[in-house]
Amino acid sequence: CDFTYEAESNPSEISSEIYEERPVGEIIFALDFVGIDIELELVDTTAYLNVLDYLQIDGQNITWKKQYDLDDKRKNRMTVTLNCIQNGNVERTVNVVIDIFDVNDNDPYFIGGPYVLNISELWPPGIVIFDGVEADDNDIDTSSTELLYSYEAEGFGDFIFTAKEELMIAPAGLDYETRSFYNVTLFVKDDRDDSEARTGISYLFINVLDGDDQNPVFGSTHYSATVIEEVSGVTLDVNPPIYAYDPDFGLNETIIYSFANDVFTVETVSDGRLTLGQVKVKDNSALDADNGQTYYNLTPSQMTSWAVFIDPASIAKEACEKYDIVVQELGCIAKLK
C-alpha cells in the first residue's frame, strides 16, 4: 500500500483547496498506490455532514460523487480517512482534508420586500417614512464586504433617500391631488467590480392618502331667488341651484350647507347624484315688501353662508358664497336679481 502524492511518498495527510459546486466526477486527488489486490475505502470523520454523500473512490482517485453547495450546507471543510486494505487488513491510513471556498453564485436579496407604504399627504416635510431597506447575500464567504444600494423612480423628487437608506418627505411636501402613487425599483449589488458581481431587485410602492387640505367649492359664486311676500315654509327657486363639492376626492366627504338668519334657512338634500342646498323661508317669518325690506344680501359679513364636511379628525373646512334674495310684493312681477 505504498503510494505517492504530489511527489511525496506515503504522506500521512493529504489536502486540497477547491471551490464549491464542482462537477460530478471531477478528480480531487489523483493517487498512485502500489500493491497487489489492494482496496481503497473512505471513512467519514466530519461532524454534522455526511461527506460520503459527496466523495467517492474511482479507481485510485478521490472524485466528486455529488456537487457540494457551500451556501446550503455551511461547512467549508471536509475530513475523511483513506484506508488502503490488502488481504483484508488495513495496511495504511491517510488523513484527507478538503477546504472548500465559496463562489459568488447567489444574488443578494431584500429582506421583507417588496415594500408598501401608505402615507398621508398631510405628513410634514422632513419626516422619515421608511427607516431603510435591509438585504442579505447567501454567499457565505465571497470577496464582498458590503452591499451597495441604489434605486430608480420616475418623478421621485417628492422624496429624499438619506445616506442611511432612510426615506423622507422632501421640503415641498406631498399633494394627493397632484400625485397619489409612486413605484420605486430598488437594487442591491455586492461590491465586486468584476463581471461576477450580482444584483438583487425589489420594489417600494408608496400610496399617498388624501387628507383634509381643500376647502369645499361652490359651483357658482353668486345665487339669486325671488319670493312672494307673506309666505312661510316655502322652498325658494334658487338660480343656479346651490351645489358644492369636496375637492379632496380621496375623502369625498358629505357636504352640509348652513347659514344663520332669522328669515331664511338652508337644508342639505340629495338628488341621488349631487348634494344640493335648498333655501326655505322659515315658518312664521313675516316677509312684507311694504315695510321697505325687499332685498336680502346674505353675504359672509352679515351671516355665515357655508358648506362644511367633517373628516375623521373632525377638522371642518368652509367655503363662503353670496345669496341675493328679492322679496316680491303680492300682485307685482319682479325680475330675479
Cell numbers standing for residue 267: 337644508
User: What band does 285 get if pLDDT is binned at 50, 70 and 90?
Assistant: low
Q: Output the pTM of the full model.
A: 0.62
How many other CB atoms sit within 10 Å of the CB of residue 325? 24
pLDDT recorded at residue 83 = 92
Helix, strand, coil share of the chain (percent; to 5):
5, 45, 50
pLDDT band for 56, please (50, 70, 90 cuts): very high
The 10s digit of each residue's pLDDT in 314-331 is 334 455 555 555 554 433
Q: State how far the Cα of 102 lies from the Cα of 138, in Å rounded to an integer.
A: 10
Query: Would you place residue 64 in the very low, low, confident or very high pLDDT band (cuts 50, 70, 90)?
Result: very high
User: What span, in angstroms and rounded, lies between the C-alpha atoms of 221 and 237?
Assistant: 17
Residue 143: its pLDDT value, please? Answer: 46
User: Residue 177 burial (CB < 10 Å; 0-12/13-18/19+)?
Assistant: middle
Q: How many CB atoms lie within 10 A of CB 129?
A: 16
23: confidence class by pLDDT, cuts 50, 70, 90:
very high
Query: Per-residue pLDDT tens for 184-202?
Result: 898 888 876 656 778 899 9
- Residue 4: enclosing H or E segment and its boundaries? strand 2-5
Give ∠ CA 194-196-202 in degrees, rounded to 5. 110
Q: 111, 135 in Cβ contact below 8 A?
A: yes
Question: Once rounded to an integer, what is the mean pLDDT over residues 247-251?
Answer: 74
Q: 71-122, pLDDT tens digit by residue? A: 888 888 999 999 999 888 998 999 999 999 888 888 888 988 899 989 888 8
Return the H-helix or E-strand segment holding 71. Answer: helix 70-73
Which domains, and CATH codes, for the chain? 2-101 (2.60.40.60), 109-209 (2.60.40.60), 217-328 (2.60.40.60)
Is 14 within 8 Å of 50 (Cβ atoms)?
no
Q: How many CB atoms lie within 10 A of CB 183?
A: 13
| pLDDT of res. 188 | 87
